[in-house]
Amino acid sequence: MTYPSPLDRARRAVHDPDPTIRQEAALRLGTLADASMAAELVSLLVSEDDFFVRETLTWAVVAQAEAALPHLLAALDRPDASRVQVLHALSKIRDQDAVPHILPLADDPDPAVAAKAWWALGRTGTPQVVPTLVDRLGDEDEARRRELTAALEQLGTPAVPALAERLLDRSTLPEVRRHAAEALAAIGDPGARGALDALVTAVEEDDKEVSVVAVSALGLLDLAEVDGVLERLRESQDRWLAITADWLLTDRAERRAERRPRQR
């Protein structure tokens, strides 16, 4: 009598009505499956309703990233919400070859699909995606702004020159300049060091709603020049700016002290 292999049992169990059984089967598939099962794994991923099973299937798909990539890209043409999970998997694979396929979804009418596309693009770390993300700065919806900021944080240093340019562009809305400063703060040190001059200009010359974020982003940069700027700002006639600069100088000194090796 021939008994089914563990892999065959998992392939059957992953279709069980009980999500707990499907979860266990998905875990076994992630352990036992090989590249030849990539298409089947992607098919299971896009048809799964249970969140936890989907996450485990995502792990199984990513484990076969090279073989799964063409099937994931094909699944982006589906008209349903499964594209969110496909983009989630692509964000973990971080293959730059996927960028041309993801870019059109940055404008998808489904906000969940669009936001996940931004995240997946940011995760690739390629300068090619910078215009698509930066052109969406200043969205009125707070949740969408946070999603875009997170994507730009993932992108990191490649986004900094374009963000600095938007921060300095006084022809744009203050909401756009503020969002650019928020993204630079999220990128932080050392990634955002290239925006030092733009941040200083924004702090000293822009509207309060922009300068308040810009000075926070400036204080995150671990550069000696920042201390000089903050010391100058501490003498500002703007009471709020002076207090903020003083607080940031104190905070920076405390962080440096924490990093300093303790003497025995």
Q: Does the pLDDT at position 263 exceed 60?
A: no
Query: pLDDT value at position 256?
Result: 87
User: What's the rounded Cα separation, in Å, for the pair 141 and 61?
Assistant: 33
Confidence band of 1 (pLDDT split at 50, 70, 90): low
At 180 the three-state DSSP class reads: helix
54-85 tens-digit pLDDT: 999 999 999 999 999 999 999 999 988 899 99
- pLDDT confidence of residue 259: 82
The sign of the CA dihedral 63, 82, 73, 187 is: negative
**Quick check: 196 pLDDT over 60?**
yes
Residues contacting residue 184 through CB under 8 Å, at least 6 positions apart: 160, 163, 164, 167, 192, 195, 199, 214, 217
Q: What is the pLDDT of residues 185-194, one digit of tens each?
A: 999 999 999 9
Rounded-to-integer distance, Cα 54 and Cα 46, Å: 8
Backbone angle region of 47, left / alpha / beta, with phi > 0 → left and psi within -120 to 50 → alpha: alpha
Secondary structure in 3-state letters for 53-76: HHHHHHHHHHHCHHHHHHHHHHHC
User: Residue 103: which residues within 8 A CB-CB, separation 6 or more?
Assistant: 117, 121, 129, 132
Per-residue pLDDT for 257 more than 90?
A: no
The pLDDT of residue 72 is 98
**Stretch 22-33: mean pLDDT, rounded?**
91
Say yes or no to pLDDT of 264 above 70.
no
pTM of the model: 0.90
